[in-house]
Amino acid sequence: MSQRQYEILFIAEQTLGEAEVDTLTATVKGFIEKENGTVEKVEKWGKKRLAYPIGKNREGSYVLMLANSPGSAISEVERRMRVTDGILRFLAIRIDEEMKKADRKRTIRGKKESTRRASVREKDRAFEGGAQ
């Protein structure tokens, strides 16, 4: 099965300290690796105020992970996160298609920029040649 790229964001309870959030992050990373996936990057955003209270929690520790994994593995990771104590909410989004689109747009934008610069250089040369 092909590996796809996912962003996995989860919010840990406000009562958990930094050490417990690190343990929870390692647990989720273990879920991914157990299902033949790899974690590329882990970003800890720290405690932030929630938009609305979830249970009795008004704050939560946000953690973002970039993972490469098959699609069936992500459904298993989501199932495990659903029953894990300490995780208030989670979201897993496939981003490989969006990355391809962004790369395509970036190359098109680069081509347009290089042609625009070339035409500006030609106009500058023509202007300098006509001024002499």
Whether residue 112 sits in one domain with residue 89:
no
Whether residue 71 sits in one domain with residue 43:
yes
Greater confidence, 117 or 72?
72
Whether residue 88 sits in one domain with residue 104:
no
Q: Which domain holds residue 32?
A: 4-94
Q: pTM here?
A: 0.72
Q: Residue 78's pLDDT band (boundaries 50, 70, 90)?
A: very high
Amino acid at 96: D
Here the tokens at position 43 are 């970003």
- Are 32 and 84 in contact, with CB atoms under 8 Å apart? no
**What are 22-41's pLDDT values in tens digits?**
999 999 999 999 989 999 99
- Structural domain tally of the chain? 2
**What are 92-128's pLDDT values in tens digits?**
999 877 777 777 888 888 887 888 777 877 777 777 7
- Are 6 and 71 in contact, with CB atoms under 8 Å apart? no
Whether residue 109 sits in one domain with residue 84:
no
Amino acid at 57: N
What distance in Å separates the CA atoms of residue 110 and residue 101, rounded to the nearest whole number?
Answer: 14
Whether residue 126 sits in one domain with residue 68:
no
